[in-house]
Structure 1
Amino acid sequence: MVPRIQLYLLVLFIQVLVIAAWTNPSDFSALQALKDEWQYTPPNWVGADPCGNSWEGITCINSRIVSITLASMGLSGQLPGDIENLSELQTLDLSYNEGLTGSLPNGIGNLAKLTSLILVGCGFSGQIPDSIGSLKQLYTLSLNSNKFIGPIPPSIGTLQKLHWLDLADNRLSGSIPVSNGSAPGLDMLVQTQHFHFGKNQLSGEIPSQLFSANMSLIHVLLDSNRLTGKIPATLSLVQTLETIRLDRNSLSGPVPQNLSKLTNVQEMFLSNNNLNGPLPDLTGMMSLYYLDMSNNTFDASDVPPWFSTLQSLTTLVMENTQLKGQVPAALFSLPQLQSVILRNNRLNGTLSIGSSYGTELQLVDLQNNSIQFFTDKAGGYGIPIILVDNPFCQGSTVTYCILPRQVNSSYSTPSNCLPPQCRSDQVSSPNCQCAYPYTGTLFFRAPSFSDLGNSSNFVSLQQSLMFTFHSNQLSVDSVSLSDPSKNLDDYLTISLQVFPSGLDHFNRTGISAIGLVLSNQTFKPPPSFGPFFYIGNSYQYFSGIPSSSGSSSSTGIIIGAAVGGSVLLLLLLGAGGYAFRQKRRAETAAKQIDPFALWDPNKNSGGVPQLKGARNFSFEEVKKYSNNFSETNDIGSGGYGKVYRGTLPTGQLVAIKRAQQGSMQGGLEFKTEIELLSRVHHKNVVGLVGFCFDQGEEMLVYEYIPNGTLKDSLSGKSGIRLDWMRRLRIALGAARGIQYLHILADPPIIHRDIKSNNVLLDERLNAKVADFGLSKPMGSPDRTHVTTQVKGTMGYMDPEYYMTNQLTEKSDVYSFGVLLLELITARAPIEKGKYIVREVKQAMDMTKDLYNLHQVIDPVIVSSAAPRSLEKFVDLALRCVEEQGVNRPTMSDVVKEIESIMELAGLNPNAESASTSESYEGARKGYEHPYSDESLFVYSGAYPHSKVEPK
């Protein structure tokens, strides 16, 4: 009787589940595949009915899934091919999930009803599949800020409903595709309003066929690519254009005169190209707010009269354009003019601002010209007028002849009341409510203003954001804007905080809704801000895990089923306990042989050592990725073994360090090293992608750093030219990386081998500290030193450590001080028997210009470095190489000092690095191997005790 009751309850329970589960089976299967592939999915993704149970981020209509919006959820994993089975899907927004990686599946082209594909700020790589061209309903395609490579698919040209096309900030290469009869191209996108292709590696000419009179384009953004040839005259046919960015390419030839026909253009950036010929006459562009044609080789000409006719102009930037003659006073009377930057030209005569200059004027920068006289007014002008390096300033100490300190806007949304005392992890909103805000950064690619001190601009932006959030019924109490600044791409960046209403935190639905408003361009900023994109941070403060029963069954049925199930459970407990004990014994035996046997990086079991972002590769996988460890993939060798360049299936390039027999560690030691490296995550530290402990092999897989070592660039081997600005940024990046190891790594790490060979430069010449083969964890934060055998590189080694065997964080500081001297001199630490520290100290004379170091300092930087910044840099380096560690600064002090030096040199230490390394490169001369012989290798032997003389 009992079995029959149990069977009845079980059948009844299953029937209830079937009735409740009304989500389309195919859709559920596809969504289940996503759930299985991804980590950190919403906690209410349980049960068999996503539609009926309202899975967070999932929207359904009539049992079919039509929308997946999961912005800023902290998801990680890849996008499985099963996504193609969501045949009714209209919106897919996975933005701001950096952990989403790998290639887009080709089957994504089967989502025939998709109107919005938005993957902004993820980690996707590989080529954009050509099947994208099958999405005929697509209106918004935003794939910007990922790692996509390869060409722009020509098939995109068939998307006749496409309105928004953003492929910027990837690694796309090749030419811009246009149609040629049988093949489609982007010239066919006559309804598209946005071409955003900036910050890629596109090459070749801009096709004249790309533009036509029947197009609807308002934004053409092609900045920071490798485009060559002339600006096509056909650009003038697109009368709807409002923003043009062609800067930071290698365009040549004259600027087409017919661009003056573009009477709706508000911002035009043509700077940092090879444009030549006469300056174009832009008299007709009466809507022009922002004009930058700097750093081109135009024919020498007097300041053209049309400058003074552009009544809408806020910003005129014509640095290094061979302008000559006298600046007309009429220019400064333009009513909206904010900034005039005409430095590094041939301007001469008398400068007169006049008494009727515009009330908006904030900056006049005319440094490094030939201006002989300046008509000042009583009491001065009250705005920065910079005349440094003009004849007028010879022997003069007036304010106009001193470089002002660069100061970023300190704007922050003010509070409407007295801010309360909040918990340390909360923030007070503008309405004085303690909460956990959703944060991120707004990037405006072409603002029409340059005055960041005018708070009215940001007030209007704040009001516009709130209007949009409330119009979309989002539970937002207030927003806060702060830290507006211009980065090296001339983008305006603003930090954004969005505060919840009613509670002190958002739930997942609220975050994904806010993310969608910003990612799919529902939010329209005030016109003066121009085109934008948003990069959101993962949100960590969700309200909790919603309960989900998975069915509508009654309490009685559930209890009955539970009672029946308990009977079966009791029968299985004995056998289960025995099986568990046997499994534990087998696992213990396996662990003794292979320390990685129970190491599953995809599970968060408490006692198992955890990888943080690193992957366990099989030997066969690594062999395949390195082309069978072929000689053509060999990029270096050293005492540890060899390094090979490899390519993962996602398209990501990696450096594979393969240990040779004799240098391999034991399994447990190797595992310990992997655990240490997997905890290290910082933008200025080379990242560990994974490892291989298989078939008797030990291999480490690092991210591939394309521009090689700092040593190669300082020696000229790489062909990259490092000016003073770049060297300061490299010094700051390396210092921040070491500071992270000393303070924020868990446990703190002493690198023990800081040198120019172990500082790598990425595609934007950002410094990354590499090679942890000799690194030592400090263990307890209270420890002051580690007693260990002396290891390191002669010339960089701390003499105190060398003599006492006591390794401290100050040992890294000493090595870094040697690195700073190497940056200044471009000399190896020990060269022809001379030690760089001793050479600098002996040549030093602080009473003389540049401390009497003219014969030691690299000539490449002498002309570009502000003398005082160079002297302070030398001071810092010598403090770092003090013989006694107690007299050296900490790395935190070093970071602050370099930031101060950068500000003294007129640089923003928090600005982004250069968009690419192209402007710093000479002829590469076949340079293929970015890792030198020593880079990324462990030198496991101690150096002989021959005393290092640092004095």
Structure 2
Amino acid sequence: MNVSNWFCCYQGKESKTLFSSGQKIKRFEPNQYYFNALRDNPMSSSINKQLLNLNLSGNLAPEIGNLSHLQILDFMWNKINGTIPKEIGNIKTLKLLLLNGNELTGDLPEELGHLPVLDRIQIDENHITGSIPLSFANLNSTRHFQLDNNNFSGNSIPESYGNMPKLLKLSLRNCNLQGPIPDFSRISHLTYLDLSFNQLNESIPTNKLSDNITTMLEGNPVCLNNNSLVQFCGPEGDNNKNGGSIVVCPSQGCPPPYEYNVDCFCAAPLVVHYRLKSPGFSDFHAYVREFESFLTNGLTIHTNQLFIEHFAWEEGRLRMNLKVFPEYIGNGSFHMFSTSEVSRIGDLFRQWDIPDNELFGPYELLDFILLDLYRDVIIPSSSSGISKGALVGIILGAIVCAVTLSAIVSILILRVRLRDYRALSRRRNESRIMIKVDGVRSFDYKEMALATNNFSESAQIGEGGYGKVYKGHLPDGTVVAIKRAQDGSLQGEREFLTEIELLSRLHHRNLVSLIGYCDEEGEQMLVYEYMPNGTLRDHLSAYSKEPLSFSLRLKIALGSAKGLLYLHTEANPPIFHRDVKASNILLDSRYTAKVADFGLSRLAPVPDTEGNVPGHVSTVVKGTPGYLDPEYFLTRNLTDKSDVYSLGVVLLELLTGRPPIFHGENIIRQVNMAYNSGGISLVVDKRIESYPTECAEKFLALALKCCKDTPDERPKMSEVARELEYICSMLPESDTKGHDYVITSDSSGTIFSSEPSSSVIKTPFISGDVSGSDLVSGSIPTIKPR
């Protein structure tokens, strides 16, 4: 198998020798990671090496410089030691060099200053010594330059660093630097300069420090007894015990509801309650500035418009209160956002249009609060040739006449409507009694409010297109998830109850169970069983604290397939899900997969009067980019194979740990390229400690077959479930312990079941036409869908 196109990372328990172009590459000792730069090939032009926060150790081999088409080299937050190979300077296509948070030592190679397209260099949080290279001033494409918390040899910042044309951020915090500060006023785009906690002691002309640059000089000798630099030498957010940034502004304050923003002018902020669901760090202080840069870039605002008022950790999630301020426009005492800007920023938060970041992970919007100032409608004044007194008289007279007439008409209308409303209420009450749904509970509004502490923010666990989701506690101790419909999702009463009746008939261990509903006081809520282990997407994040094992990933894949198979074949009427994705697969306390969110589901076609069943349903395209069946997207013809395609993408996520679209690259194309180039070891998530190669190969083959462009080339959901059972049956018995796995046998062959041994159903489920399937060689085990 050809492995010459890829940059590889291996973890071994024995010493190994790796080869490249026929030559031996550096060999590492047991329990270290091996970094192997293999022969250059045009295929590598699309390769991004991102192996961050994986506890990697060992040295970087010089042969890494052979990858002349590499664009991203990301080994952040590992335990890599030794020096940085000067050969990295040979990778002229490199755009991101991210080596922060390791144990690197020695000098920075001068050769790194000869990378023509390098956009970001981060080598902070290491043990680098020596001098800051003069050659770095030649990085004409670099926008982010960060070397914080290293121990350079007391040299000064080169004056030529003031000529880097595209620099946006320069951070040399706590680097043992001395001497003067260069003139950075020539860099027109520079917005952030952090030189704090060094030994800078020479006089700094204030004209070299532009007001448009956020400048931090705290902790330098130059700040002592220098009143002209007080605005740059003040305390920062790290000193705030509550977690928010500290701002020192004039004492007179701003009139409510205005308040000082980061730059101490009076403005009316937007208040945002925001939560990171799976951040890749445990100490936010070290990442405050990077988060501010990430979020403000996503909102297309300046960093000085964002203020982190407070943050706190909640069971591995980071909750924060943010204030977003309008931009200073240089006139007037008070500043507000325009109506269009309020809408734009709100939509970015509500519609999840801020791209995910591998370091900060997925987020959820808890609340977006508008001050009354933004809700008020201000009517502009007008003028004419009529005197002010006459104009006032005319307006008052018109108002009195209009109010009198309106009052008479309103009383008449109200009497008629009150009579009709009483009659309608009687009919509605009668209707509620008649349409009582069996199998689910009908809750009143007071019960829902009590369960969620009156829908408090602390009870909110998510928000989607349907509305907000709350964690609730019923009086009997049952923990539930309550989906509360927002205004745009409300249905008519009969339509809502019809959907409840349909959902109440769906019972399967791999579907999230509906417990009840509430249709009262203008509210519509669905009450589901609570899934304590969250979504599959959360566990596949690079920052999940406990990566899923290979056997557990197979269990989740099989459970998901069985849940969808039930919807396709046993639900009455059958249902196509239409939005299968990792975030719609929930995990209970035993990591049993449960398919969720049928809000976008569509009933499958039913037989016509002559018994013919159409092959598809025509529908408006709904779903999530990266998971959408291309045939469905183009033709709007929804079939069971559309769900098969989406499940195939989920299977690839389970195997690789990557989302369907990552840095603009499609997971299906990337997996195909990797597998064709170097085999299964280049595809499987590096956080999986061990796995049977044959099982992984078959799992990958199944996933790719599900993702074929043409529906006819994809297997049926029944075939997918059978193949997954077959793959699971191949697992060593030791791999299935601890996950409620049971291996049983019947006349059809070996069966893998995710059921506890006490509840294995012996009656085989016989599906439709599965003859001729090439998914499994040999006998095909029967499916146990429940």
Question: What range is the shorter-chain TM-score in?
Answer: 0.3 to 0.5
TM-score, with structure 1 as normaliser: 0.32
Between 1 and 2, higher relative CO (CA 8 Å, sep ≥ 6) is seen in 1
TM-score, with structure 2 as normaliser: 0.39
